[in-house]
Amino acid sequence: MRNPIMPLFALLFIVYVINKQSLMPRMVEAKGNVHIVYLGDKQHDDNKLVVDSHHQMLAEIVGSKEEASKLMVYNYKHSFSGFAAKLTDSQAQQLSEFPGVVRVIRNRILSLKTTRSWDFLGLSSHSPNLLHASNMGEGVIVGLLDTGLWPESKAFSDEGLGPIPSHWKGGCESGDQFKATIHCNRKIIGARWFIDGFLAEYGESFNKSEVHEFFSPRDAIGHGTHTSSTAAGSLVHNVSYNDLGFGTIRGGAPRARLAMYKVCWNVNRGQCASADILKAFDEAIHDGVDVISLSIAGQNPLFSEVDEYNGIAIGSFHAVAKGITVVCAAGNEGPSAETVKNTAPWIITVTASTIDRSFPAPITLGNNETLVGQGIFTEKEIDFTGLVYAEETTLRVASEGESQNPPLDASLVAGKVVLIFPSLNHRLPNATKFVKAAGAVVDFNIGTKILLYARSTRSPVVKLSPAKTFVGQPLSANVAYFSSRGPNSIAPAILKPDVAAPGVNIIAASSPLGQYFDNGFDMLTGTSMATPHVSGIVALLKSAHPDWSPAAIKSALVTTAWKNGPSGSPIFAHGASQKLADPFDLGGGVINPNKAADPGLVYDMTTADYIHYLCAMSYSNSAISRLTGKPTMCPGKKPSILDVNVPSITIPSLSNCTTLTRTVTNVGEATKTIYKAAIEPPLGIMVSVNPEVLVFDAATKKISYRITVSTTYQVNTGFFFGSLTWTNGVHAVRIPISVKTEIMPA
């Protein structure tokens, strides 16, 4: 999920109009006639028999195998079993009643959600750290489900790379302006594209020439090129964006290999069909990727994770079961609560933070008052020119099909500076399509000052001065305004997001067709940009610790994350007002890669733990059995979701004394080591741990402990936050605690 050059602390934009033409691609409507028939884990390894069984099942509904072949969109045959087909609602209902069918899921359309960030995270290429200890991710394959890539980018050079990893089974597919033998190399080792599920919905209303798209792995938007180069791009020196942020760009794991699975298409800023996403998961798992990165998410309200409408949750479950770590975007619907997406506990869910770099841009009003915003404007100073406020009804004009969202009337604003409050801008969602981001992003307070000035004079004017690059203290990491927040709306007792990572003003490679492309690169903002930062670090951890499970990697990231920024400064969360960030804003904290490489203890999980979660969520035995491929019976007494072994404690409804369990695994010192508990209890909450001391040695690698939580409150409260840290003098293994009391009336 992405926003182009968008709000740093921002609630408004200053933008300079450069033309009168809308750049928005034509809106198209989905037909909504594709369904995914999910059959769970494969019952045998003969792919031909699997496919034949799909056609036979569909033929029983539609009358013949010939008709079934016409209606079939995809067969899922490698990592799990199922198919996507064009079905009426009645046919879908009939199939849902077949023996062996876990669920029939309606195809959904989902949305897409550098030169400084790696140094900020402590992964400088000039000093000893995880980057070098892992040989820059050598031998690891990162798979991305995105908009494709631009193979000519310098970020995808394979210079200095050795042979393709031996465990790779995938390949490249040719298509529009993409030739596999030319455009794939030892860096881009996989490139596939999946559009059948998308076309089955949109049909002839999707005109690829009209929206400038390629039926191939080539990227027409720039999003996939940006995310893939951020995760595992090669080093490119002397890069800047509009002369800002000068330096060397690279991915988090510059020697890792890339496999692109293009599932998102150039409609409404990037749309992705769940049938295509599920097919890409099936192929990526089979191809042999080690990490899967998705900067994609659905919309609120969320549906049940496994049973309904959630191809990402289903696909990622099968990936994690095969030892593949899956990293997903939290979403860009912040700062409201309960907006976080991709909430399954087997996924690493990433929110976006700022870094210690800014681009201050002076804004001088006609009354000679100078304010400072953040901008990318580096051209000649724009001398005093007219200032207009975009919320004025006189600045909006309806166009066909957009009566609910009228764009700016460019004839009234051409050549002027336009003030926009995006928090109030639901009626102008595409305003920036009509303007060039030539000014600054400012906070609400400064924006209000500009507005008050504009309303105080008949002919307001403003002068915009070029931005400059500022790095280091006193700048610190903060949670971005737009980042989706917890609590988890599906399972409130499972903390989401998991971690925060740089996602604001990230410079990386892009497509020349991208709207803000500058000499090979773009500066983008969103949880889309934060996600590949974590994916790149996961690749380094996989290289350094090939035996770690996805859960162990997730735990290492969460328990070692910065609660305060790398500089030691507090981390704030931007919203209607700034506040200290809490676990619903940033999970465990901002990722700390070097600490994650040596976490001491991890909260590990296996398929059995995820079954515990599924049973606690009241999924049926048959659905769980099909999902896992093994007969499963949930216990007669529903297990507590509080006991799922995640690296956090979240109690959304505490009324009585509650006890829960966690298990830690020693991945640190092989000799005897002693960990002691240190508790920071939430305000008004009592927390105790038993035992208070954990002793590990060569024979004892795992130890379980119990946490008892109670409250002095006799009223309902909001959430209070604290932490539990296990320390042995070398490692500090910290998990966040979130507790909300709920006292039932007598």
* 3 state SS of 66: helix
Count of beta carbons in the 10 Å neighbourhood of residue 56? 11
Distance CA 100, CA 53 (A): 11
Do 498 and 587 touch, CB atoms closer than 8 A?
yes
Do 603 and 559 touch, CB atoms closer than 8 A?
yes
Which H or E run contains 610? helix 607-616
Do 687 and 639 touch, CB atoms closer than 8 A?
no
Distance CA 312, CA 539 (A): 20
Distance CA 152, CA 158 (A): 11
Do 344 and 313 touch, CB atoms closer than 8 A?
yes
Spatial CB neighbours of 34, under 8 Å, sequence gap ≥ 6: 73, 84, 85, 86, 87, 106, 107, 197, 200, 201, 273, 275
Selected catalytic residue, list 228, 316, 484, 528: 528
Distance CA 161, CA 577 (A): 48
Q: How far is CA 413 from CA 22, 288, 408, 440, in A?
A: 14, 53, 8, 17
Selected catalytic residue, list 78, 81, 146, 316: 146
* 3 state SS of 109: strand
Count of beta carbons in the 10 Å neighbourhood of residue 399? 12
Cα angle for residues 363, 366, 369 (degrees, 5° grid):
55
- 180: tokens are 């596999």
Count of beta carbons in the 10 Å neighbourhood of residue 50? 21
Do 377 and 439 touch, CB atoms closer than 8 A?
yes
Q: What SS3 string covers 120-136? A: HCCCCCCCCCHHHHCHH
Selected catalytic residue, list 35, 78, 183, 223: 223
> Can you list the alpha helix ranges (DSSP code H) found in 214-324?
223-232, 274-287, 311-321
- Packed helices 550-560 and 527-544: angle between N→C axes, nearest 10 degrees: 110
Do 626 and 39 touch, CB atoms closer than 8 A?
yes
Q: Is 223 marked active-site?
A: yes
Q: Is 89 marked active-site?
A: no
* Nearest residue to 233 (alpha-carbon basis) of 505, 593, 508: 508
Known catalytic residues are 146, 223, 528
